[in-house]
């Protein structure tokens, strides 16, 4: 008797909006806003917020467009990319994404441990050796156990954290309004950021990321088509509004200490100095924001691993669900990897690479949306329509930020994903859905053919477009090899198998015949087009096919057929070939058999070309 799985599904607020907002309004908001203001002034700070948020907003719109066109399953961003760009590209993005999510659990656990250790009473003596690593490991174990037990429990735990973070922002605003005010400074001095504006932009940019935390819960949502667009766009716009308020109020306070605000390590102290009730609300909010980010990563990472396992890109064990619908094995596996990462230390050496790999996800999401619009597949009918050039602007913005953060990390990230793509491309992956690859190639071919058809014909540009009639690839292997040798890499070879109408069974039979033809061609190492045509009789059928075969400037110009084994049929066959020749086709009439002793090697050619 199969086990019944009862999975709890979530709505927009709990499943998408809250985790997305909490991941955006994280530690960097508290640490870096004052530092950005002190270096570039209020005007450029607001510009940085708008430009950075525009990239995430465009990516959010692209993700929303894709999500309204499909039922997004487990895996969130990976699921979208793989169903749009194909399994190979999805794997190239999804596998690094999983490890980035997993390492993020360790990052946030380290951050929470280091912040908590600050409260160690001096009266207790010195901290025990490796206390940070031990506390980090303890935090990872706790969040993993909670996540593995119930996603609902983790998501509901974020509600009080959300309230606490909002309360800290209100406390900051209230503290500024009740204290002495000043005219904000718009002057940029780059005192502690000598590398200039774009350096400050790159440092701040991670503060606007994290909106995909809600998308990662796609498989746990009641209505992903509704919740992902509303929750994601709502989170991005809400955080943009908050981010436009915070620098205005910090810059307007006369209590701001210039030395303190310029120090990138004293951001929390700046907030505590300005906020109503001091650090009473700020410190808990900071700790809560870090914990919430750890929760988000431990929820999303296993779901990416689950989706990878479902698609055969990870061991099938990780696709199994617990009775409550949680990806239990994927969660425990993620927790173990996060614990092993603690042994690496603070992970600062790979932090930049992780940030850049996350940005490649933005590139892939925007690229997916842009190509979907350009290709215009009939099935692509999103409720949210994003112009292709807007999504491509998001691609350009994400790539630009990747290089700003670290050109070397960007190069390494591209190499990692290119290697994964190459490895997956060489594997035989089963993909039971269509992607934009076929549509994109068809569009390119269409434009090329249209351009080709408008050009004047010249003998120097002639290429053999061979249509070979045969019964079976392996039975006519010599004919196929000859056709391939004549077409070589410059021409086109099409193999045509005819099926008598009386013997026709179903369209499935045609599909199976085509599959066998492709398999046989792969076995003998020949590339050719294949088709199966149902005809009333072979003679008239082959004549009709030969006359009509091809498209635009790629009409078949050469007909190839083997000599009939039946002598009584050869006269009729020869008359048919004469009819094809009279319609302007070149004819290759060939026969292969056992080599006779002392036989001559000869090919007879009747040349009817001009200027002979």
Average pLDDT over residues 390-401: 92
Residue 451 within any structural domain of the chain = no
Residue 607 within any structural domain of the chain = no
What pLDDT sits at residue 612? 42
Q: What is the Cα–Cα distance from 37 to 14, expressed in whole angstroms?
A: 33
Say yes or no: 315 and 173 in one domain: yes
CB atoms within 10 A of CB 267: 22
Q: Which residues contact 510 (CB under 8 A, 6 or more apart)?
A: 499, 532, 534
Residue 454 within any structural domain of the chain = no
CATH number for position 543 = 3.40.50.620
CATH number for position 226 = 1.20.1740.10
**Closest by Cα among 164, 173, 204 to 34:** 204
* DSSP code for 314: S
Say yes or no: 208 and 319 in one domain: yes
CA end-to-end span of the chain: 80
Structure tokens at 521: 């061609």
Q: What are phi and psi of 185, to 5 degrees?
A: -90, 130
How large a percentage of the chain has pLDDT more than 90? 17
Q: What is the Cα–Cα distance from 94 to 96, expressed in whole angstroms?
A: 6
What pLDDT sits at residue 1? 38
Q: Are 491 and 463 in contact (CB under 8 A)?
A: yes
Say yes or no: 36 and 141 in one domain: yes
Residues 17-54 pLDDT 10s: 999 999 888 888 888 888 888 888 999 999 999 999 99
Q: Which residues contact 589 (CB under 8 A, 6 or more apart)?
A: 560, 561, 563, 574, 577
Residue 139 within any structural domain of the chain = yes
261 sits in which H/E element: helix 258-262
- Cα–Cα distance list, 224 to 172, 187, 209 (Å): 35, 45, 21
Residues 329-364, buried b or exposed e (16+ Cβ, 10 A)?
bbbbbbbebbbebbeeeeeeebebbbbbbbbbbbbb
Domains held by the chain: number: 2
Average pLDDT over residues 349-366: 83
Q: Which residues contact 458 (CB under 8 A, 6 or more apart)?
A: none
Q: What is the Cα–Cα distance from 299 to 482, expressed in whole angstroms?
A: 58
Residue 122 within any structural domain of the chain = no
Under DSSP, is residue 35 helix (H, G, I), strand (E, B) or coil? Answer: helix
Q: Is the dihedral of CA 512, 515, 517, 520 positive or negative?
A: negative
Average pLDDT over residues 440-448: 76
Q: Are 193 and 39 in contact (CB under 8 A)?
A: yes
Pairing relationship of beta strands 586-590 and 492-500 according to DSSP bridges = unpaired
Q: What is the Cα–Cα distance from 165 to 286, expressed in whole angstroms?
A: 8
Say yes or no: 383 and 524 in one domain: no
Say yes or no: 408 and 466 in one domain: no
* DSSP code for 161: H
Under DSSP, is residue 201 helix (H, G, I), strand (E, B) or coil? Answer: helix
Say yes or no: 412 and 512 in one domain: no
Output the pTM of the full model. 0.80
**Greater model confidence, 373 or 609:** 373
Residues 222-280 pLDDT 10s: 888 899 999 999 999 999 999 999 999 998 988 887 888 888 778 888 888 888 888 88
Identify the band that residue 136 occupies on the pLDDT scale cut at 50, 70 and 90: confident
Q: Where are the alpha helices (DSSP H) in 73-117?
A: 77-85, 87-117
Range of the domain at 486: 462-590
Say yes or no: 391 and 529 in one domain: no
Residue 375 within any structural domain of the chain = yes
Say yes or no: 413 and 532 in one domain: no
Average pLDDT over residues 552-561: 79
Residue 402 within any structural domain of the chain = yes
Residue 123 within any structural domain of the chain = no
Say yes or no: 68 and 209 in one domain: yes
Q: Is the dihedral of CA 422, 423, 424, 425 positive or negative?
A: positive
Residues 405-425 pLDDT 10s: 888 888 988 899 899 988 888
Say yes or no: 191 and 244 in one domain: yes
What pLDDT sits at residue 431? 65
Q: Are 402 and 437 in contact (CB under 8 A)?
A: no
Rounded to 5°, angle at Cα 88 from 386 and 304: 75
Say yes or no: 249 and 303 in one domain: yes
Say yes or no: 280 and 181 in one domain: yes
**Greater model confidence, 516 or 447:** 516
Q: Are 270 and 256 in contact (CB under 8 A)?
A: yes
Average pLDDT over residues 176-191: 87
């Amino acid at each position: 008797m199969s086990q019944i799985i009862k999975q709890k599904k979530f709505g927009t607020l709990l499943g998408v909006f809250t985790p997305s907002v909490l991941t955006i309004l994280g530690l960097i908001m508290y640490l870096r806003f004052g530092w950005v203001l002190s270096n570039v002034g209020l005007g450029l700070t607001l510009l940085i917020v708008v430009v950075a948020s525009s990239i995430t907003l465009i990516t959010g719109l692209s993700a929303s467009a894709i999500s309204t066109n499909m039922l997004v399953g487990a895996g969130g961003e990976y699921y979208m990319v793989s169903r749009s760009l194909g399994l190979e590209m999805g794997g190239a993005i999804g596998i690094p994404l999983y490890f980035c999510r997993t390492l993020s659990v360790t990052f946030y656990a380290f951050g929470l441990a280091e912040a908590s250790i600050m409260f160690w009473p001096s009266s207790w003596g010195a901290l025990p050796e490796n206390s940070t690593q031990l506390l980090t490991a303890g935090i990872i174990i706790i969040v993993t156990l909670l996540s593995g037990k119930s996603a609902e429990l983790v998501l509901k735990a974020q509600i009080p954290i959300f309230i606490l973070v909002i309360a800290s922002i209100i406390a900051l605003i209230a503290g500024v309004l009740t204290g002495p005010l000043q005219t904000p400074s718009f002057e940029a001095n780059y005192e502690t950021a000598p590398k200039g504006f774009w350096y400050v932009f790159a440092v701040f940019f991670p503060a606007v990321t994290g909106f995909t935390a809600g998308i990662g819960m796609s498989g746990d949502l009641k209505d992903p088509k509704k919740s992902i667009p509303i929750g994601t766009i709502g989170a991005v716009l809400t955080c943009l509004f908050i981010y436009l308020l915070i620098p205005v109020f910090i810059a307007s306070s006369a209590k701001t200490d210039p030395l303190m605000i310029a120090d990138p390590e004293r951001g929390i102290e700046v907030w505590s100095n300005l906020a109503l009730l001091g650090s009473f609300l700020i410190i808990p909010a900071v700790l809560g924001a870090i914990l919430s980010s750890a929760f988000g990563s431990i929820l999303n990472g296993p779901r990416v691993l689950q989706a990878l396992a479902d698609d055969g890109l990870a061991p099938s064990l990780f696709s199994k669900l617990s009775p409550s619908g949680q990806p239990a094995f994927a969660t425990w596996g993620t927790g173990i990897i996060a614990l092993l990462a603690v042994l690496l230390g603070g992970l600062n050496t790979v932090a930049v690479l992780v940030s850049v790999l996350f940005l490649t996800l933005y590139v892939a999401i925007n690229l997916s949306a842009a190509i979907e619009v350009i290709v215009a597949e009939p099935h692509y009918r999103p409720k949210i329509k994003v112009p292709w050039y807007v999504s491509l602007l998001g691609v350009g913005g994400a790539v630009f930020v990747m290089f700003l953060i670290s050109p070397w990390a960007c190069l390494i990230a591209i190499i990692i994903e290119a290697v994964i793509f190459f490895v997956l491309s060489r594997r035989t992956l089963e993909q039971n859905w269509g992607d934009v690859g076929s549509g994109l190639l068809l569009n390119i071919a269409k434009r090329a053919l249209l351009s080709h058809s408008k050009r004047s014909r010249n003998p120097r540009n002639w290429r053999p477009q061979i249509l070979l009639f045969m019964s079976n690839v392996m039975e006519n292997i010599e004919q196929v090899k000859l056709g391939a040798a004549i077409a070589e890499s410059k021409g086109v070879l099409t193999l045509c198998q005819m099926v008598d109408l009386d013997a026709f069974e179903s369209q499935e039979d045609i599909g199976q015949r085509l599959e066998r033809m492709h398999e046989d061609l792969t076995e003998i190492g020949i590339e050719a087009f294949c088709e199966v045509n149902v005809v009333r009789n072979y003679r008239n059928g082959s004549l009709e096919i030969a006359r009509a075969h091809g498209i635009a400037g790629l009409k078949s110009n050469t007909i190839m057929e083997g000599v009939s084994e039946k002598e009584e049929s050869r006269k009729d066959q020869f008359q048919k070939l004469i009819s094809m020749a009279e319609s302007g086709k070149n004819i290759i009439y060939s026969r292969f058999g056992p080599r006779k002793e002392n036989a001559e090697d000869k090919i007879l050619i009747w040349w009817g070309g001009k200027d002979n």
